[in-house]
Amino acid sequence: MQVSTISASIVTPNGTVYEGNVHMISVRATGGDMGILPNHIPIVAPLKISAVKLQKEDAPDEYVAVSGGFIEVRKGSVVTILTEAAERKEDIDTERAQRAKEQAQQRLSELNENTIEFKEAKQELERAENRLHVASL
């Protein structure tokens, strides 16, 4: 069945962060940027720590910060993004993200590059920078 909108949801272990009918979803997959339109072929793809853009025809674009995860496109234009953490642009606490960014930078300057802690701090920095970026869109 051909449909003209996508039924989109962004789901985390803490609950659903976004649910709505949209005309296009833009995501950053590990393999590159993807724009999903209605009737897209079914896929599953891993996402980077990045911004998800949700476009409607008659409303302003919406943005959600995601901490990686997966996008699943199913038949009938049903799209689910499943991720560890996600925040809508307007729910991002920029002071908290700025603090997290500074803490991660501090830790990175103190840690040895070959440790798991260093990798974790790099991910923390990426999440904080992504939140600051999405809040500024």
Binding site for ligand ATP (CB under 6 A): 14, 67, 85, 87, 91-93, 96-97, 100, 124, 127, 131
* Closer residue to ligand ATP, CB minimum distance, 25 or 87: 87
Which pair of structure tokens corresponds to residue 39?
């009737």
Asked whether the beta carbons of 47 and 83 are under 8 A apart, the reply is yes
* Closer residue to ligand ATP, CB minimum distance, 24 or 48: 48
* Closer residue to ligand ATP, CB minimum distance, 74 or 96: 96
Q: How far is the CB of 76 from ligand ATP (least distance, A)?
A: 29
Measuring CA to CA, which residue among 129, 131, 55, 27 is closest to residue 86? 131
Query: Cα separation of 27 and 133, whole Å?
Result: 15
